Structure 1
Amino acid sequence: MSIFFESNFLIYASGALIALAGSFLGVFVISRKMALVSDALSHVALPGVGIALLLGIDIFWGALAFLMTSLFLVNKIKSKTRLSEETLVGIIFTFSIAIGVLLLPGEELLESLFGDIDALGQNDFWIILAGAILIIIFSFKFFREFSLVSFSEDWARIQKINVPFMNFLFFSLLALSVAIGIKLIGALLMSSLLIIPAAASLNISRNFFQTTIISVIFGVVGMIAGLYFTSIFPAIPSGPAVVLVEILFFGLSFLFKK
């Protein structure tokens, strides 16, 4: 392994990429009033992590596979019932928590929930990089469509937008963001990157574009600051440290609220 990847660059770059992708998507999560859904989706990854550990494969693939399978089931069941996506995700969420606790030993369960900065390797960086690039590319490509669907699905349909496809694509990108972040900050706290930076940004921004930019800044800076705090106090898991910094930003945003 080169000196480049032996340095702290690996950790900080991975964290910045995860925060960039998560806080970008978070603006749409908040606009859709889906904060609790994104939180539930983060926990759905746990059974996938357990299965991956049993099979001896990277937990990213297990988490992503289980998340995508869950999204497929939600869409299938939704077409046969009047229940909302939020309700179905909530049901799968409780099922996932139960299975995750059964499959994961105590120590590995804690690592999956709160992250383990020491577990990050070079292969993880490339996975995170590829995942973040895909999220940003699709988010930019369908920025208009995501924005319209977020504000009004009926208006989006009038504009000839395929709303079901956009919803599935958006949830898929959310699933990918959770999967790439689970090793560094954990499933329990990954949802914080989808919620807190965007919520703080809404307090001080004037328009949707500005909200997106400020959310990304809060997300990336908060991530790097949290990881730095963890490097000073190794006993503190990376996930909680990052969340505390993001909460600080959220609190400070009220001082500059428009």
Structure 2
Amino acid sequence: MDLIQWFAAPLQHEFMVKAILVSALVGLVCSALSCYMTLKGWALMGDAVSHAVLPGVVIAYVLNIPFAIGAFVFGVGSVIAIGFIKSKTRVKEDTVIGLVFTGFFALGIVLISKITSTVDLSHILFGNVLGISDSDIIQTIVISVITLVTLAILRKDLVLFCFDSTHAQSIGINIVFLYYVLLSLLSLTAVAGLQTVGIILVVAMLVTPGATAYLLSDRFDHMVLIAMASGVFSSVMGTYISYHIDGSTGGCIVVLQTLLFVVAMIFAPKHGLLVRAKNS
């Protein structure tokens, strides 16, 4: 099979065209948000929120309301629970995060196992971008637009909040507002990501592109562009690869993102292992 045929074959199927476009959009949005998560050091928080939205998504399905509503409620609820437990006990934050997100995630699995559904709710765990419905595509587009527009409008404040929240507060920026804005976007983006890679792997899409770009650039604007490029590339190519090897789409996307990170880790011009070994 020549290269042109390799790229053209999946495009003969409408479901593959939809999958490629949706994966690219989700990769773009998750990558943009991942830069802020990386700068803030919120990998664990991203893990917590992305897993905590599971019961909210299942309950939203039962109530026949948009998944985003259930995810938002449980995503923000998990953060409130983390803050409450941290302030009322002597348990450290990383331990509290682990307790809360595993508890919420387990509740979601119990709900999935008990609810009789015409839809295979296990797709929430592993993603099902190849069978995505038109209504889910519209929901993904709406979430993506909300996230990208919010990040663009609040870009300067969010960058300062993520880089140095103490300084941000000292010059009059409402860091509590920014804290919940970022967590709200995280909850919404987790819903978009679950359509492509599922709840279990969505944290990779919210962390890996930003981490890869962080190794390749010291300027935040460049970091965002690099992250978005790597996110879109891995999402599109991962979908193509999954078609040709008949493998998990979400798994292929995340494996490709991880490989890009490994390449950056080794060959990054300023922070790569080869440069560090040469300079040491």
TM value normalised by structure 1: 0.87
In the alignment, which residue of structure 2 is the partner of 1:28?
Answer: 36
Q: Percent identity?
A: 26
Rounded to whole Å, the distance in 2 between the matches of 1:45 and 1:178 is 8
3-state SS in 2 of match to 1:182: helix
Distance in 2 (alpha carbons) for counterparts of 1:133 and 1:127: 10
Contact kept, 8 Å, 2:86 with 2:93, in 1: the verdict is no
Are 1:14 and 2:22 counterparts? yes
Report how far residue 33 of structure 1 moved: 1.1
| Cα deviations by residue, 1:136-156 (Å, 9 ceiling, x for unpaired) | 111011111111111111100
Q: Which residue of structure 1 aligns with residue 159 of structure 2?
A: 147
Unaligned runs of 5+ in 2: 1-12, 271-280
Rg (Cα) greater in structure: 2
Deviations 1:81-126 (CA, angstroms, capped at 9, x unpaired): 4777755543320211221221113994642222112330111111
Choose from 219, 224, 235 the match for 1:212.
Answer: 224
Report the Cα distance in structure 2 between the residues aligned to 1:173 and 1:184, rounded to whole angstroms. Answer: 17
- Asked if 2 retains the 8 angstrom alpha-carbon contact of 1:23 and 1:193, the reply is yes
Counterpart of 2:37 in structure 1: which amino acid? V
Matched-pair contact (CA < 8 Å) for 2:86–2:92: no
For residues 149 and 137 of structure 2, the distance between their equivalents in structure 1, rounded to whole angstroms, comes to 18
Shift of 1:133: 0.7
Kindly tell me: are residues 42 and 224 of structure 1, through their superposed partners in 2, closer, same or farther at Cα, counting changes over 3 Å?
same
> Given the alignment of the two structures, is residue 103 of structure 1 paired with residue 111 of structure 2, yes or no?
yes
Task: Output aligned runs, 1:1-258, within 5 Å.
Answer: 6=14, 8-57=16-65, 59-74=67-82, 77=84, 81=88, 88-105=96-113, 108=120, 110-234=122-246, 236-253=247-264, 254-258=266-270
Matched residue SS, 2:41:
coil
CA distance in structure 1 between the partners assigned to 2:64 and 2:166 by the alignment = 46
Cα deviation for residue 168 of structure 1 reads 0.6
2-structure distance, mates of 1:53, 1:147: 35
Residues 24/88 of structure 1: CA separation in 2 closer, same or farther (3 Å cut): same
| Letter paired with 2:244 | I
Contact 1:37–1:90 (CA<8 Å) still a contact in 2? no
Q: Give the C-alpha shift of residue 240 in structure 1.
A: 0.9
Letter of the 1:90 counterpart: G
Instruction: Say whether the 8 Å CA contact 1:68–1:172 is kept in structure 2.
Output: yes
Distance 2:188 2:162 in 1: 19
AA matched with 1:14: V
Q: Which moved more, 1:78-87 or 1:45-54?
A: 78-87
